[in-house]
Structure 1
Amino acid sequence: MKSEDDTAGNPGSNDSTVLLHVEGGTGVVTLNRPRALNSLTHPMVLRIDEALAAWAEDPAVHQVLIRGAGERGLCAGGDIRAIHDDAKAGTTASADFWRDEYRLNARIARYPKPYVALMDGIVMGGGVGVSAHGSVRIVTERSRVAMPETGIGFVPDVGGTWLLSLAPGELGTYLALTGTAIGAADALLCGLADHFVPAARLPELTAALAGAPVHEVLPRYAATPPPGELAGRRPWIDHCYAADTVEEIVERLLGQGEPAAKEAAETILAKSPTALKVTLAAMRRAAGLGTLERVLAQEFRVSCNGLGSPDLVEGIRAQVIDKDRRPRWSPPTLAEVTGADVEHYFAPLGEDRELHLPQGDVSRG
């Protein structure tokens, strides 16, 4: 039995950017902005959240599936053009969006029913937030998973610093600073996914989920992914990224004599110096906060304080709007970013503006 939208309380039913239906016992969420790589808008976040809340209480819904429309990916992240315009205008729409987005991330992480995420194709930023906190995370040979925020003068959010802080060794620090997109095997290694299914079998898997629980269906489709790259790089990654400062990380990378390490150093040096230092601090602090909810509260503080950063506007301009790929960071070097500059991002917002979330036990550690 398939019903469109009505099972989710008909939230925003005239908005086609998120399609909702229940098939068998599975509530299906389809992100439906394929021309924009299914990038999330504020109405999309609210619509997903309302559907999940309704399905959590609906005895006819036994599990949830989230997927992306089109062939290119699940979700490329948030609508960063809107964030650019908001930051440039000095308004607060982005803070409102992040508050609801991070609440959605927390809901997914503590969802009481199986939450199956098809992480096919591009899964970046906010796309990681609506998938990698789920209980059943499926990647394919087409998956490209990343938290690329430092490249636009921003800091990994949507619980990304929490997820990456749980990765083995210093793999999470490597991914957070470089923004490197990884494939299926490396996503599994880093704890960002649980299972590999060939992309050609996803339609068959999706159809099977309509009639049976995911734990019964998935073993018929799960396979071994093509080899990844990170396992063989662990020795130098763990050594270099354990350093206390970004400057020392770069110095260690350049001293390795490994082409991949040198490439990583060059990648880091092209990112926003301020965003890099704040990201390293956020990662180290996330590891000690203990729960996703506390990390999301920290990320909300960092995001809101970073909204006025000149690097955020400049990074989005260079990468997305003008696409000249030549951002002019301010300050332009790591040495010029002070400890006070970094601490500004972690400054309290005031009790009425902080993100308050119920504390749940969602540790994957």
Structure 2
Amino acid sequence: MNEVQLTVEGRLGRIVLDRPKALNALTLEMVTAIDAQLQQWATDPQVQFVSIEGAGERGLCAGGDVVAVRRAVVDGEAGQEFFAAEYAMNARLASYPKPTIVFQDGFVLGGGVGVSAHCAVRLATERTKVAMPETIIGFFPDVGAMHLLARAPGEIGTHLALTGQMINGADAVFAGLSDAVIDSSLWPGLLRDMRDGSGASYSPLPVDSELAAQQGWIDECYAGDDAAVIVERLSTSNEPEAREAAELIRQRSPYSVCVTLAALRRARAMETVDEVLAQDLRIAAVVSHHPDFAEGVRAQLVDKDRSPRWTHGSVADVPASEVEAAFAG
């Protein structure tokens, strides 16, 4: 297929997401092809390394094809085939028997985190922009990302999950979504070294994380399991960044914010990525059929009017029973 290039070059199995006009957003056919190829390469003696990158100049991947999922749900279908295939690919990457090296250059959003953050070596660049923005479309940070976000320092992961805030490479390293920041010009040389079988050595750039400097107010404001209390703390904080975070959360689906917080707290008690992905699959089956998902995708990606009409007026209006029901799928 021409949406993802799967080639063997010397000792390197190379995966290039190739939908640059769509910022390499993942389709069902792409994730199915990638997963099948990973299975084949796992036992191929010629392949010593696997690399993942995105075509074009804008970034690795803008996420999954949620527009197609929405279309299926609106048409009365289950619409879960994409999630099942995507999460299977995520799980395979997390436990892959050979070194996986990913180039997190440019935008790495949603499913782009799933196809990269579980890899063995995750290389951000001076151009990296990472986010899990799902709450703005009435969904939740899936693709096993909560396994990583739940283990980020303090409440950094909670902040990123609820607000969908975009961060740079230095912040991604601090949050545990990347391993290092390199100059983007080094990637061709790394590919050459992997082709030759000599490894993927690199010189990381120094990192200075703004998130690290803000951890004090983040840890204070995001403590606990009550989304309404969190928003209130953010709103009344003396820190302008905290008040900005409160405004970001207010723009998002109240239902999604509450489900995300509950899922993230549950993920803290889960030891493996597979456990989190199993939870993701259960939640996705429920949340993708909630009215906020169809409305959020419409507002952000279909009509693009950026004016969603959420089911609930605020996180305080979301019944606890409705949140619990998301985990019973």
TM-based fold match above 0.5 = yes
- What is the CA–CA distance in structure 1 between the aligned matches of 2:235 and 2:53, rounded to whole Å? 40
Deviates more, 1:200-209 or 1:98-107: 200-209
Q: Which residue of 2 aligns with 1:314?
A: 295
Compute the displacement of 1:213 (Å): 3.7
Among 2, 16, 29, the alignment partner of 2:2 is 16
The TM-score normalised by the length of structure 2 is 0.98
Q: Which residue of 2 aligns with 1:7?
A: none
SS in 2 for 1:19: strand
Compute the displacement of 1:138 (Å): 0.3
2:205 aligned with 1:260: no
Among 251, 260, 264, the alignment partner of 2:232 is 251
Compute the displacement of 1:48 (Å): 0.3
SS in 2 for 1:288: coil
Among 84, 89, 110, the alignment partner of 2:70 is 84
Among 24, 30, 43, the alignment partner of 1:38 is 24
- What is the CA–CA distance in structure 2 between the aligned matches of 1:251 and 1:166, rounded to whole Å? 24
Among 186, 189, 206, the alignment partner of 1:224 is 206
Letter in 2 for 1:307: S
Q: Which residue of 2 aligns with 1:351?
A: none
Compute the displacement of 1:223 (Å): 2.3
- What is the CA–CA distance in structure 1 between the aligned matches of 2:280 and 2:137, rounded to whole Å? 16
Deviates more, 1:17-26 or 1:106-115: 17-26
- What is the CA–CA distance in structure 2 between the aligned matches of 1:212 and 1:234, rounded to whole Å? 41
2:97 aligned with 1:115: no
SS in 1 for 2:210: coil
- What is the CA–CA distance in structure 1 between the aligned matches of 2:316 and 2:116, rounded to whole Å? 36
SS in 2 for 1:74: strand
2:107 aligned with 1:129: no
Where does the alignment leave 5 or more consecutive residues of structure 1 unmatched?
1-14, 349-365
2:170 aligned with 1:188: no
2:15 aligned with 1:26: no
Q: Which residue of 1 aligns with 2:137?
A: 152
Letter in 2 for 1:249: I
2:125 aligned with 1:140: yes
- What is the CA–CA distance in structure 1 between the aligned matches of 2:7 and 2:204, rounded to whole Å? 25
- What is the CA–CA distance in structure 2 between the aligned matches of 1:293 and 1:328, rounded to whole Å? 34
Among 38, 41, 46, the alignment partner of 1:52 is 38
Structure 1 contact 63–213 (Cα < 8 Å) conserved: no
SS in 2 for 1:230: helix
After TM superposition, what 4+ stretches of structure 1 lie above 3 angstroms from structure 2? Answer: none
Compute the displacement of 1:326 (Å): 0.8
Deviates more, 1:146-155 or 1:198-207: 198-207
Q: Which residue of 1 aligns with 2:55?
A: 69
Structure 1 contact 90–308 (Cα < 8 Å) conserved: no
Deviations 1:284-335 (A, max 9, x none): 0011122111111111000001121100010011111111111100022222
Deviates more, 1:294-303 or 1:81-90: 81-90
Compute the displacement of 1:84 (Å): 1.7
- What is the CA–CA distance in structure 2 between the aligned matches of 1:22 and 1:256, rounded to whole Å? 53
Q: Which residue of 1 aligns with 2:278?
A: 297
Structure 2 contact 105–127 (Cα < 8 Å) conserved: yes
Letter in 2 for 1:113: K
Deviations 1:82-124 (A, max 9, x none): 12211211212x3111111111101000000000010101111
Compute the displacement of 1:43 (Å): 0.6
SS in 2 for 1:330: coil
Letter in 2 for 1:300: L
Deviations 1:176-226 (A, max 9, x none): 000011101100001101121111222222223211343xx323x43224x
- What is the CA–CA distance in structure 1 between the aligned matches of 2:261 and 2:326, rounded to whole Å? 12
- What is the CA–CA distance in structure 1 between the aligned matches of 2:279 and 2:162, rounded to whole Å? 18
- What is the CA–CA distance in structure 2 between the aligned matches of 1:145 and 1:65, rounded to whole Å? 19
Among 125, 132, 156, the alignment partner of 1:171 is 156
Letter in 2 for 1:312: F
- What is the CA–CA distance in structure 1 between the aligned matches of 2:81 and 2:235, rounded to whole Å? 41
Count the aligned residue pairs.
Answer: 329
- What is the CA–CA distance in structure 2 between the aligned matches of 1:173 and 1:309, rounded to whole Å? 22
- What is the CA–CA distance in structure 2 between the aligned matches of 1:80 and 1:213, rounded to whole Å? 39
Among 257, 265, 283, the alignment partner of 1:284 is 265
Letter in 1 for 2:253: S
SS in 2 for 1:289: coil
Q: Which residue of 1 aligns with 2:218?
A: 237
Structure 2 contact 42–98 (Cα < 8 Å) conserved: yes
The TM-score normalised by the length of structure 1 is 0.88
Determine what percentage of the aligned residue pairs are the same residue: 49
Structure 2 contact 136–164 (Cα < 8 Å) conserved: yes
- What is the CA–CA distance in structure 2 between the aligned matches of 1:35 and 1:311, rounded to whole Å? 27
Letter in 2 for 1:65: S
Deviates more, 1:240-249 or 1:280-289: 240-249
- What is the CA–CA distance in structure 1 between the aligned matches of 2:194 and 2:45, rounded to whole Å? 16
Cα RMSD (Å): 1.1
